[in-house]
Amino acid sequence: MEQRGICASNTHKMPQMSKGPQYALSQAARLLGVSSDTVRRWADAGRLLTTKGANGRRVVAGPDLAAFALSLADEPESGRTSARNTFPGIVTAVKADKVVAQVDIQAGPHRVVSLMTVEAVNDLGLAPGVEVVAVVKAPAVVVDLP
């Protein structure tokens, strides 16, 4: 089995013969919120471990992809917050009446919608095309399988 790249986790450098899920590079890209080209570059540069799957194409073992995703989350972002759910993105729409505004944000593959006062929108200078970071604090998270 051909190996490319290194594992994001320092606990092992060689791929494990995993019976768990394996992801095509396009699937890994979707899960990481980046393009397939970015995932290929990471693999070619040795940042992300890949092996050849049964069909001869490169795949990423589920545990290695999870470790890599965590390593990306540890990369510093601008600003500091106690919130763990931050989504860098771009404003795609602002719909406002006299008091309340709806701000739509595209954060990678995620659409985040925020309701806030028009005063806050004006103070922040929010408009389509403005780079933002959506910070989500919620009491519950629902997890579904695709």
85-136 maps to CATH 1.10.3720.10? no
Choose among 31, 23, 28: nearest CA to 59: 23
Q: What CATH number has the domain spanning 3-74?
A: 1.10.1660.10
pTM above 0.75, yes or no: no
DSSP state of 59: E
Choose among 40, 60, 43: nearest CA to 52: 60
**pLDDT interval class at 12 (50, 70, 90):** very low
Q: Quick one: three-class SS letters along 62-113?
A: HHHHHHHHHHHHHCCCCCCCCCCEEEEEEEEEEEECCCEEEEEEEECCEEEE
Average pLDDT over residues 111-140: 90
Q: Domain ranges in the chain? A: 3-74, 85-136
On the question of pLDDT at 95 being above 50, the answer is yes
Choose among 18, 29, 25: nearest CA to 62: 18
* Distance separating alpha carbons of residues 60 and 27, to the nearest angstrom: 9
